[in-house]
Amino acid sequence: KAGVTQTPRYLIKTRGQQVTLSCSPISGHRSVSWYQQTPGQGLQFLFEYFSETQRNKGNFPGRFSGRQFSNSRSEMNVSTLELGDSALYLCASSEPRGGSYEQYFGPGTRLTVT
Amino acid sequence: AQKVTQAQTEISVVEKEDVTLDCVYETRDTTYYLFWYKQPPSGELVFLIRRNSFDEQNEISGRYSWNFQKSTSSFNFTITASQAVDSAVYFCALGTPYNQGGKLIFGQGTELSVKP
């Protein structure tokens, strides 16, 4: 089975712009979660989608949004970019098995805001 | 509050030494999940193990072993006979119940350096 894929892998944007990141989960996985990784804050949860519904959201401003499509692919959008949004954005997919789950991560999108 | 603490920021060992990475967690949930991930320099998080809160059985996989103790809220990871390929940042994570939107709360990570 192919793993989680994320596009693009690298992105450079200017303050004030917006950006859209894409994530394709492992085939058969209905849940997609997004995380932000920075040297200062570590790995932080952004949001989780399951069958096109956002079930959980982390403590991030409204500039961060996401959506999930019927084929489970997901996008996240960051509007009005700030320098502090420079980070590695990781997407993970999962599918429950017997009430438990395991999240498998993609390679990430490294966003640099200048 | 839910929290994961990895007190060791960096560990350096010589090849073939055994090394234990510590993880302490806090949660009020009665059902939860614990994970270990490896992050090599390439950046991708590699899943290593998942443990459910109701299963305290320890696990061994090759040179890797995990010790889960609810009484001390710890989920420690031991690498036996370490190798250069083990050099990476290791993250311990606490997972919320899946039906609440499975969310992982990560520790700050432990950077392991295995020297020849």
pLDDT, tens only, B7-49: 999 999 999 999 999 999 999 999 999 999 999 988 899 999 9
The yes-or-no verdict on residue B88 having pLDDT over 90 is yes
Rounded to an integer, the average pLDDT of B84-106 is 93
pLDDT for res B42? 87
Contacts (Cβ under 8 Å, ≥6 apart) of B34: B23, B25, B50, B51, B53, B68, B75, B92, B93, B94, B95
A33 touches chain B (CB under 8 A): yes
The yes-or-no verdict on residue B114 having pLDDT over 90 is yes
Sign, Cα dihedral of A18, A69, A108, B91: positive
Indicate the residue of A33, A58, A110 with minimum beta-carbon distance to B102.
A33
- The three-state (H, E, C) secondary structure of A52-79, written as one string: CEEEEECCCCCCEEEEECCCCCEEEEEC
Phi, psi values for residue B39, rounded to 5°? -125, 100
Q: Which residues of B touch A (CB under 8 A)?
A: 33, 35, 37, 42-47, 50, 52, 91, 93, 95-96, 98, 100-109
Phi, psi values for residue B114, rounded to 5°? -110, 115
Tokens of A39: 């040297």
Cis previous bond, A8, omega within 30:
yes
Please answer yes or no on whether B37 and A102 come within 8 Å at the CB atom. no
